[in-house]
């Protein structure tokens, strides 16, 4: 059987889509945790962590995904698409889990889920997802600007009182940190170009560009706009509370203020834009760096990032499995009825 050049390119393209994010994330994690004592992280995880706060944190994480699924239904309504709310939520669960394998593939997978179980137009739902990403970027931008304005004075006072301004920034912009930041920015640009090219190619091949644009413009006629805005606020409040509540799990972070949590949350939200599985690597690097600015030792900051990110990733896997199992069962049951 002869293998064509086109087929080889497709295989290489798919391989790179999976391998490059994994390699980038692993490389940043390897550098961030070089010389790290993982035994201490295990001791904190099994002996010193307050799990009641962690369970509360995970509750907010689940709530954020529920609100996202419910909000998606409102965006689909003006397009004449009416999927079951439970299916939309399960699709969100699956999409987050899918992103752990291949970054950004979750956006496509959740549209495929609704297409399969509710006969929702794949192209129209993809358009609503693209619009949703723009809304999320706007939210992150607004939160970032507000945080910078609120914390500008605190940053100035902190560096003045500790006298560490020169030391901190000289350490922050070492050659290694610079190259890590450059690699992350390059990955974002390359990932963005890849996504645009693939969506454009998909639209041309399938002739679905009009439907995608219709989905993108659905926000103009969104069903119950006040509720859409409320869900959006609830999504980001839930995400923030998931992160902030996790501070109380550890004795070395429980005294950090909610404003400090907001700064770290913003930095982490920007870091996960880098196309690695669940932001692994860039998220750790960013959170650890900023935690050190608030007086947390590098070791404790590393433990926090490792444990919190690890547990949250495990939650995404469990929810993804739950969504995969629940979808056929609930829809089969309803068909019988």
Give me the half-sphere count of Cα atoms (radius 13 Å) on the Cβ side of residue 211: 17
| Residue pair 104/195 in contact by the 8 Å Cβ criterion | yes
Compute the distance between CA of residue 80 and CA of residue 145 in angstroms, rounded to an integer: 36
- For the chain, the structural domain boundaries read 51-330
Give Cβ neighbours of residue 174 (< 8 Å, ≥ 6 apart): none
Question: What is the distance between the alpha carbons of residues 298 and 290, in angstroms, rounded to a whole number?
Answer: 10
pTM: 0.81
pLDDT digits (tens), the chain, 337 positions:
555 655 556 656 666 666 777 777 777 788 888 888 888 888 988 888 999 999 999 999 999 999 999 999 998 888 888 899 999 999 999 999 988 887 778 888 899 999 999 999 887 888 888 888 888 888 988 988 888 777 766 555 444 443 444 444 445 445 455 555 555 555 555 555 555 555 555 554 444 555 566 656 667 777 788 999 999 999 999 999 999 999 999 999 999 989 889 989 988 888 888 777 777 888 888 888 888 888 899 899 999 999 999 999 999 999 999 999 999 998 875 555 4
């Amino acid at each position: 059987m002869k293998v064509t050049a086109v087929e080889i390119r497709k295989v290489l393209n798919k391989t790179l889509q999976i391998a490059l994010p994994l390699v980038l994330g692993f490389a940043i994690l390897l550098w961030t945790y070089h010389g790290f004592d993982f035994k201490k992280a295990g001791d904190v995880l099994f002996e010193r962590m307050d799990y009641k706060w962690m369970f509360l944190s995970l509750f907010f994480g689940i709530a954020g995904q529920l609100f996202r699924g419910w909000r998606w239904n409102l965006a689909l309504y003006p397009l004449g698409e009416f999927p079951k709310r439970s299916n939309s939520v399960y699709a969100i669960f699956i999409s987050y889990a899918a992103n752990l394998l291949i970054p950004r593939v979750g956006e496509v997978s959740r549209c495929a889920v609704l297409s399969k179980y509710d006969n929702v137009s794949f192209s129209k739902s993809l358009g609503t997802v693209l619009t949703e990403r723009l809304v999320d970027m706007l939210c992150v931008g607004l939160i970032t600007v507000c945080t910078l304005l609120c914390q500008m004075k605190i940053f100035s006072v902190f560096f003045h009182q500790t006298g560490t301004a020169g030391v901190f920034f000289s350490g922050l912009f070492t050659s290694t940190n610079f190259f890590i930041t450059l690699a992350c920015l390059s990955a974002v640009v390359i990932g963005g170009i890849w996504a645009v090219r693939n969506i454009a190619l998909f639209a041309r091949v399938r002739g679905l560009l009009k439907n995608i644009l219709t989905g993108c413009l659905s926000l103009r006629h969104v069903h119950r706009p006040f509720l859409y805005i409320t869900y959006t606020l609830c999504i980001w409040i839930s995400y923030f509370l998931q992160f902030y509540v996790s501070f109380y799990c550890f004795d070395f972070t429980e005294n950090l203020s909610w404003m400090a949590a907001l700064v770290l949350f913003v930095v982490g939200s920007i870091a996960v834009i880098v196309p690695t599985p669940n932001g692994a690597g860039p998220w750790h690097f960013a959170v650890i760096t900023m935690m050190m600015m608030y007086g947390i030792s590098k070791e404790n900051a590393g433990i926090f990032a490792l444990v919190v990110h690890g547990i949250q990733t495990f939650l995404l896997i469990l929810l993804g499995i739950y969504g995969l199992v629940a979808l056929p069962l609930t829809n089969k049951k309803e068909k019988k009825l």
